[in-house]
Amino acid sequence: MGVKQLKKKFLRMKNTIDKFQKIVKELLDDEGAKPMAQFIASENLYSEVDLALTKNGLSEEKFEAALKDLVFKTPRTATNAFFNQLFGGRNETAVLGDLLAVILNNSMYTYKAAGPQVGVEKVILREVCNILGWDKSSDGTFAPGGSLTNFMSMVMARDAADKSTPHSGVTQKMTVYTSMESHYSIPKNAAFSGVGRDQVRYVPSDVVGRMDLNALEAMIEEDIENGYKPIMVNLTAGTTVLGAFDPVGEVRAIGDKYGLWLHLDGAYCGSVIFSQKYKHLVDGISHVDSFSFNAHKMIGTPLSCSIIVVKDKRNLNSSFSNDASYLYQTDHDEFNLGKTSLQCGRRNDALKFWALWKSVGTDGLEKIVDHQFDLADVAREYIRSNDSYELYSYDESISICFNYKGIPARDICTLLYEHSELLVGYGSYENDEFIRLVTINAQNSKQDILDFFKTMESFVASNTHLFAPALTEKS
Ligand SMILES: *Cc1c(COP(=O)(O)O)cnc(C)c1O
């Protein structure tokens, strides 16, 4: 390339960064004024947003207008009106790390292609293993989401139970155990891994949503009697609805007795490992075989940032490594991360987490986690001191489940969404259905949580006609 062409190329990129800044600044201003994007019913999507792809391109002006319009109409997950899922907020430092990952555009499979970024990933994994009290025989990797780190755990459990499986396929009826309250990726992964959905055993939970260990052991015994081969127990740190923590420490004895792999799915609340005050919720974690958590949930990095660590790294190697001479040409396997990965080309999900961790330290991560529990306490306190509410969830959970004035939860949630007031979801446990407020956005203040209730209450008060049947039934 000539000097002139090079210059042009750099100018184009600089120009692009300017455009990016302009759109982002406008979005931030608009979010400040309107924390909810305008509601667009899915049936009107293509008429209300210009999404069509056409043979001819657009003028720069028209293209920018289309882009901005799309950005402005997209749900705003970073504001104090988003409580719908298990993520939220927009941590600036983590965003900076992720933007740089896009600009650098490395692929994490080899040291040759990713250089120091390999180290970025490795120091995170090492530090997490240290926190768990694991030595150098442990290791881990990143995968595109908690569903897939869970998948990796099931594949390792399968291969550890029968070392011939990677070559000969599944030849026995293997069973896996998980609580009724666990994530839906478990049955999906059973289908993917050849274990089969029918071999997933759903263990009942106790009143506070934790796996019932007596029931677990009875189910294992019954399966053995019927000729099945139990291979793993999947435990959950932060169940999807109630945010409950399975009794990790107590399961090891059962695992040892029957030779089972123990995985702790901490996608939602596994980040309590960073908190002195709340790490007791995963007491015994050092005894599991694998542990996964999503930094894009409690830690608040952009999606996705999912980590799995394995106590004995040989399991990672034997289940996921494949030789590829065109790829692994230099450096030791320790630095060629592709050897223990689910993927080949892999985006750099580590840099955003590293940037945040480097900047605030482990103490800073602890503050992020503790603040979410403080916000949850504020919400529970508000509900408990107000007769119009009924509380369904428990202390030491950042999922606050409640009903208001006996109005069906799904009605309130749907109407709040359709009227662009708040994004919040509903869930159920046993026979109750309720609103689930998640205090996972550490950028929210206590006032933001109180404002959530105020917004919901005044919406109900000024729209009594929408809720009429429920409200009159109650009085
Ligand atoms: C969110 C979640 C998952 C799935 O993680 P993704 O990154 O969304 O795939 C798995 N398990 C639990 C408990 C979760 O909360």
Q: Are residues 161 and 24 in the same domain?
A: no
Statement: residue 468 has pLDDT above 80: no
Q: What percent of the chain has pLDDT over 90?
A: 91
CA distance 388 to 64: 48
Residue 156 lies in a domain: yes
Q: How far is the CA of 189 from the centre of ligand 1 (A)?
A: 12
Q: Which helix (H) or strand (E) holds 126?
A: helix 116-132
Identify whether 203 is part of a domain: yes
**Which of residues 356, 378, 411 is at a domain's end?**
356
Are 106 and 197 contained in the same domain? yes
- CA–CA distances in Å: residue 52 to residues 47, 69, 287: 10, 13, 53
One domain, residues 65 and 101? no
Instruction: Look at phi and psi of residue 343 and say left if phi exceeds 0, alpha if psi is from -120 to 50, else beta.
Output: beta
Residue 84 lies in a domain: no
pTM assigned to the model: 0.96
- Co-location of 53 and 174 in the same domain: no
Ligand 1 centroid – CA 236 distance (Å): 10
Same structural domain, 69 and 172: no
What range does the domain containing 37 cover? 3-76
- Whether ligand 1 lies within 6 angstroms of the CB of 189 is answered as no
Q: Please check whether residue 67 lies inside any domain of the structure.
A: yes
Is any ligand 1 atom within 6 A of the Cβ of residue 181?
no
Mutation to probe ligand 1, out of 184, 185, 436 (largest number of atoms < 8 A from CB): 185
CA 202, CA 228: separation in Å to the nearest integer?
Answer: 15
- Give yes or no for residue 86 CB within 6 A of ligand 1: yes
Q: Do 173 and 314 lie in a common domain?
A: yes
User: pLDDT tens-digit profile of 139-185?
Assistant: 999 999 999 999 999 999 999 999 999 999 999 999 999 999 999 99
HSE (side-chain half, CA atoms, 13 Å) at 330: 6
The reply to whether 261 falls in a domain is yes
Three-state SS for 306?
A: strand
The per-residue DSSP string of 430-474 comes to TTEEEEEEE---TT--HHHHHHHHHHHHHHHHHTHHHHHHHHHHH
Two tokens, residue 294: 């999503």
Average pLDDT, the chain: 95
Pocket test for ligand 1, best of 149, 178, 184, 240 (most atoms within 8 A of CB): 240
Last residue within a domain, chosen from 327, 356, 385? 356
CA 448 to chain centre: 22
Q: Based on the domain organization, do 339 and 241 belong to the same domain?
A: yes
Of 356, 371, 389, the residue at which a domain comes to its end is: 356
349 within some domain: yes
Task: Give yes or no: residues 153 and 237 share one domain.
Answer: yes
Atom of ligand 1 minimally distant from the CA of 237: 13
pLDDT band at 334 (very low <50, low <70, confident <90, very high): confident
pLDDT digits (tens, 9 = 90+) for 12-25: 999 999 999 999 99
CA of 180 to the centre of ligand 1 (A): 15
Residue 59 CA to ligand 1 centre (angstroms): 41
Q: Is residue 385 part of a domain?
A: no
In a domain, 369, yes or no: no
Query: Domain containing 190 — which CATH number?
Result: 3.40.640.10
User: pLDDT of 367-424, one tens digit each?
Assistant: 999 999 999 999 999 999 999 999 999 999 999 999 999 999 999 999 999 999 999 9
Query: How many independent structural domains does the chain possess?
Result: 2
Tokens of 338: 């592709």
Phi, psi of 147 (to 5 degrees): -60, -40
Pocket test for ligand 1, best of 77, 268, 353 (most atoms within 8 A of CB): 268
Binning pLDDT at 50, 70 and 90, where does residue 473 land? low
Is 447:456 a contact under the CB 8 Å cutoff? Answer: no
Is the pLDDT score of 195 beyond 90? Answer: yes
Give residue-wise pLDDT tens across range 227-249.
999 999 999 999 999 999 999 99
Same domain, 115 and 30: no
CA distance 58 to 69: 15
Ligand 1, atom 2: closest residue by C-alpha: 267
Cβ-proximal residues to 197 (8 Å cutoff; 6+ apart), any chain: 187, 190, 191
* Residues 299 and 165 occupy one common structural domain: yes
Q: Would you say 406 and 393 are in contact if contact means Cβ atoms under 8 Å apart?
A: no
Task: State whether 64 and 110 are in the same domain.
Answer: no
- 129 in the same domain as 234: yes
